[in-house]
Amino acid sequence: MAGDHGLKYAMVGGGIDAFIGEVHRKAIALDNSATLVAGALSSTPERSMESAKQLGLPEDRSYGTWQELVEKESERDDGVDFVVIVTPNNTHHPIAKACLEAGLNVVLDKPMTMTSDEARELAHLANDNDLVCGVTYTYTGYPMIREAAELVRNGTLGNIRRVELRYLQGWLANDIESEGQKQASWRMDPKQAGAGGTLGDIGTHAEHLASFVTGLEIESLSAELTSFVDGRVLDDDTSVRVRYEGGAKGTYLATQVLIGEENTITLSVYGDKGSLWWSNGDANDLKVATLERDTYYLTRGQDSLSERAKAATRTPPGHPEGYLEAFANIYRGVAELINAKKLGTPVGPLGHDVPGPEAGLCGMRFVERVVSSSNQDGAWV
Ligand SMILES: NC(=O)c1ccc[n+]([C@@H]2O[C@H](COP(=O)([O-])OP(=O)(O)OC[C@H]3O[C@@H](n4cnc5c(N)ncnc54)[C@H](O)[C@@H]3O)[C@@H](O)[C@H]2O)c1
């Protein structure tokens, strides 16, 4: 078990009132993948110290700023093994760059950076310095998504013809950023979020999920970005048509203005021998149909599943796993990668499935191409 090797991590962001940092902490704790020992948790030194106090971090490792954290942790003999970066998008690149330059492994949340140039720089830094740079594309952590990827890889679906991906939310149906809703405010501010609103926030999840399952490379795309809510500069609705290398076609819809949609993700992949369907609402099931076998269901925990899916599961069939476990699978993989470098232990399927810097870079290229196409009224780019 990863935790047996006593990995230690620091967090930047994830302080009082933050959303995703707490989810990361719970996911890491679920499998004892690492222990939180240091943090620069908020945007001001005062709040950072208060946040660290609430989490019970030791005083000498509660930092007011991320700069201080990077400097001090990289100097310590017992410094952290990795730094989790869960701040608004515009800060990912400077923080990750400083960490990687100081020899610290990083885990960044998506979107990786503000631009593809920044992402490319981080990828080079990580690769040149043999450091881990994971990107938490949460939804690839589900075991049945890993099984889906395996079914495509082993030819069960034949040649892929079509990929349909919908990621639907409704929490930005109103102008809540004007009312000071914190998560909405920075997500709809181009200076903090980047060139994409919904596109960067959940469109990047859609792009990565489709790529992870199918392995297809996007050749060109035609996109339409819409801001349904008056006064919004960034998109709150993204629709993209995709042509993949090899001839397959795809459609991605990512939107945050559909009232009543909480967090619905559906993926369908259609090949010339078979098809598969998955949704995060029934995350433990995968529906499959083939020309030979009609329609059948695979469920998480079955003996017949691939090693890749089995490695990402904990409880027996019928005892559902969900979002936190999917997140935790990415961190078990991160721990495998770091332990391999630190102790020479083998990297298993979980480690191999950690989205790396190249996946983060693909996400940023996707954002840039979608914006470019939409600015040209949906031209293929
Ligand atoms: N993987 C996922 O499914 C997923 C889900 C939600 C958010 N995210 C990503 O996670 C990141 C954070 O999103 P969130 O919703 O938690 O945002 P949030 O606004 O809730 O939290 C951001 C945190 O970062 C802190 N912060 C800001 N600037 C800082 C700085 N310079 N130094 C230290 N801390 C700083 C804030 O004080 C806050 O604690 C974003 O990049 C977002 O896209 C990913």
Q: Show the domain range for 91.
A: 2-136
Please check whether residues 112 and 146 belong to one and the same domain: no
The tens place of each residue's pLDDT in the chain, 381 residues long, gives 444 459 999 999 999 999 999 999 999 999 999 999 999 999 999 999 999 999 999 999 999 999 999 999 999 999 999 999 999 999 999 999 999 999 999 999 999 999 999 999 999 999 999 999 999 999 999 999 999 999 999 999 999 999 999 999 999 999 999 999 999 999 999 999 999 999 999 999 999 999 999 999 999 999 999 999 999 999 999 999 999 999 999 999 999 999 999 999 999 999 999 999 999 999 999 999 999 999 999 999 999 999 999 999 999 999 999 999 999 999 999 999 999 999 999 999 999 999 999 999 999 999 999 999 999 999 999
In a domain, 301, yes or no: yes
Q: Are residues 171 and 207 in the same domain?
A: yes
Q: Is the CB of 66 under 6 A from ligand 1?
A: yes
Same structural domain, 85 and 183: no
DSSP helix/strand/coil, 251: strand
- Is residue 84 in some structural domain? yes
- Listed in sequence order, the residues at least 6 apart from 146 whose beta carbon sits closer than 8 Å to its beta carbon are 140, 306, 308, 309, 312, 349, 353
Residue whose CA lies nearest to ligand 1 atom number 15: 19
171: which 2 tokens? 């929490």
Task: State whether 116 and 131 are in the same domain.
Answer: yes
User: Residues 166, 304: one domain?
Assistant: yes
Specify the residue with its C-alpha closest to ligand 1, atom 3: 138
Are residues 48 and 167 located together in one domain of the fold? no
Of ligand 1's atoms, which has the minimum distance to the CA of residue 65?
A: 32
Count of domains forming the chain: 2
pTM (two decimals) = 0.97
The residue length of the chain stands at 381
Distance 21 CA to ligand 1 centre (A): 7
Last residue of a domain, one of 106, 136, 166: 136
Contact 267, 179 (CB under 8 A): no
133: Cβ contacts below 8 Å, ≥ 6 apart: 96, 100, 105, 106, 107, 108, 122, 123, 125, 126, 356, 357, 360
Cα dist from 375 to 196, 200, 324, whole Å: 12, 16, 37
86 lines ligand 1 (CB under 6 A): yes
**Residue after which a domain boundary falls, among 136, 161, 189:** 136
Residue that terminates a domain, selected from 88, 111, 136: 136
Q: Is residue 50 part of a domain?
A: yes
Note whether 88 and 38 are same-domain residues: yes
Task: Considering only the C-alpha atoms of the chain, give the largest distance between any 2 of them, rounded to a whole number of Å.
Answer: 64
Do residues 31 and 77 both lie within one domain? yes
Instruction: Answer whether 226 contacts ligand 1 (Cβ < 6 A).
Output: no
Rounded Cα gap, residues 163 and 216, in angstroms = 10
